[in-house]
């Protein structure tokens, strides 16, 4: 997938694979429902769906290998934590999935709103939510170590800078 961009296409349940050399669409992949998040890991694409499922597509065959079920509402965020897939959902939970067995190993609860953003750094998972908070979770114990409450509205996105030493958060409160 070098020199490729993978994007979802509106509410139609379509993924487009774009060549970033000439910006032509090289492949269109149909999905069973509307796409809300994408993550590429090795030869797999994880697709967060509006129905709460996570579609696993193999880029060798471009076939759907399976759908992970567990969330009850749309999957907004996906991130890898070592060899574990972590998903955040509008059902206010975070799920941790084994990529060896495809089983949900645990469900993290504590947010009072949609889990919109996830990032990992070192042994920390950081989640941003529409409950206006950012939570810092230990990936050793999978417990919440800290809750940041400095935003006055929904946290929509998170990013890491300075080699993971700085956390940036974007919110509906315009900060």
Handedness of CA 118, 119, 122, 124 (dihedral sign): negative
Query: pLDDT at residue 154 above 70?
Result: yes
Contacts of 117 (CB under 8 A, 6+ apart): 76, 77, 88, 127, 128, 155, 156, 157, 158, 169
Q: Say what the pTM is.
A: 0.93
160 — pLDDT class (breaks 50, 70, 90) = very high
Q: Which residues contact 54 (CB under 8 A, 6 or more apart)?
A: 46, 47, 48, 67, 68, 71, 75, 78, 85, 87, 97
Q: What percent of the chain has pLDDT over 70?
A: 93
Q: Give the contacts of 162 (CB within 8 A, at least 6 positions apart).
A: none
- Contact (Cβ atoms closer than 8 angstroms) between residue 49 and residue 38: no
Q: Tell me the per-residue pLDDT of 60-69, one tens digit each, with 9 for 90 and over.
A: 999 999 999 9
pLDDT of residue 7: 61
Angle at 140 between CA 67 and CA 51, to 5 degrees: 20
Would you tell me how many other CB atoms lie within 10 Å of the CB of residue 125? 25
1 vs 167, which has greater pLDDT? 167
* N-term to C-term CA, the chain: 35
Give the DSSP letter string of 1-55. Answer: -TTEEEEE-TTSSEEEEEETTT--EEEEEE-SS-EEEEEEETTEEEEEETTS-EE
Going by pLDDT thresholds of 50, 70 and 90, the confidence category of residue 174 is: confident
Report how far residue 66's alpha carbon sits from residue 156's, in angstroms, rounded to the nearest whole number.
28
Mean pLDDT of 34-58: 96
């Amino acid at each position: 997938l070098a020199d490729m961009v993978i994007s979802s296409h509106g509410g139609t349940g379509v993924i487009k694979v774009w060549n970033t050399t000439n910006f032509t669409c090289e492949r269109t992949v149909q999905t069973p429902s509307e796409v809300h998040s994408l993550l590429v890991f090795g030869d797999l694409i994880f697709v967060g769906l509006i129905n709460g499922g996570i579609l696993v597509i193999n880029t060798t065959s471009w076939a759907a290998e399976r759908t992970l079920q567990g969330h009850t509402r749309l999957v907004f965020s996906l991130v890898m934590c070592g060899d574990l897939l972590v998903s955040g959902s509008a059902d206010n939970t975070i799920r941790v999935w084994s990529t060896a067995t495809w089983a949900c190993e645990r469900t993290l609860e504590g947010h009072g709103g949609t889990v919109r953003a996830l990032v990992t750094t070192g042994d920390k998972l950081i989640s941003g939510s529409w409950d206006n908070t950012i939570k810092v979770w230990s990936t050793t114990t999978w417990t919440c170590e800290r809750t940041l409450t400095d935003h006055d509205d929904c946290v929509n996105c998170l990013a890491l800078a300075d080699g993971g030493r700085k956390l940036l958060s974007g919110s509906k409160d315009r900060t």
